[in-house]
Amino acid sequence: MIPAIRVDSPEAAVFAAENVEAGGIPIVEIATTIPNAGKVIHELAQRFPRLIVGAEVVAGLDEARRQLDAGAMFLTGPGFDPTVTAYCVEHGIVVIPGALTPTEIMAAHRAGADFVKVFPCADVGGARYIRALKAPLPHVSLVAAGGVTQSTAAQFITAGAAALGVGEDLIPHRAVRSRDGAWIRELASRFLSFVRTARTPME
């Protein structure tokens, strides 16, 4: 899973990431719409050396470089930016561009993307859409993102998703506002259980 942290302050982002990690998920994606996102990434990289911290880039290569300089270990995006993807491939950085249609997914894969984030997945058929994509594109590692919930997580995995991008259903805004870390840790544990259970028959 790749928890997507999209909150309104650096303090809230650090709180969310800390509790996701404490709940057993060692990876987070920091939205660059968070104020001072680079400082958040830097702080997380320093405080939690076992946490894999990535950045969601929406404003092009300059922003991508800034987040990498801050300590981001991988880059994602809601769409496919060929320039950012090419830079990451050239420098050996894991890149997970977003795409929606088969044409976009194929273009991102040909450009060297490590994974392709299908976003917003739930709005175009959810797990059924992932299953339909995997039939002609079994060689592409797809990350289902956008609308993944507790009730659909396992369905996306069995449909062929290599990973899940999860936001509000894992990191509720209410939990962040009230600083209820136990809530986030419990949700992290649940999502892990759903994914592990779905993967067991596939191993």
* Average pLDDT of the residues in 105-131: 96
CA dihedral (138, 25, 151, 95) positive or negative? negative
Count of structural domains, the chain: 1
Please give the share of the chain, as a percent, with pLDDT higher than 70: 100
Q: How confident is the model at residue 83 (pLDDT cuts 50, 70, 90)?
A: very high
Contact 61, 26 (CB under 8 A): no
What would the two tokens of residue 90 be? 């050239």
Nearest to 75 by CA among 108, 104, 102: 108
At 127, which CATH number?
A: 3.20.20.70
Q: pTM of the predicted model, to two decimals?
A: 0.93
Kindly report, residue by residue over 129-141, the tens digit of the pLDDT.
999 999 999 999 9
Q: How confident is the model at residue 199 (pLDDT cuts 50, 70, 90)?
A: confident
Kindly report, residue by residue over 36-63, the tens digit of the pLDDT.
999 999 999 999 999 999 999 988 999 9
Q: Which domain holds residue 189?
A: 2-202
pLDDT of residue 86: 97
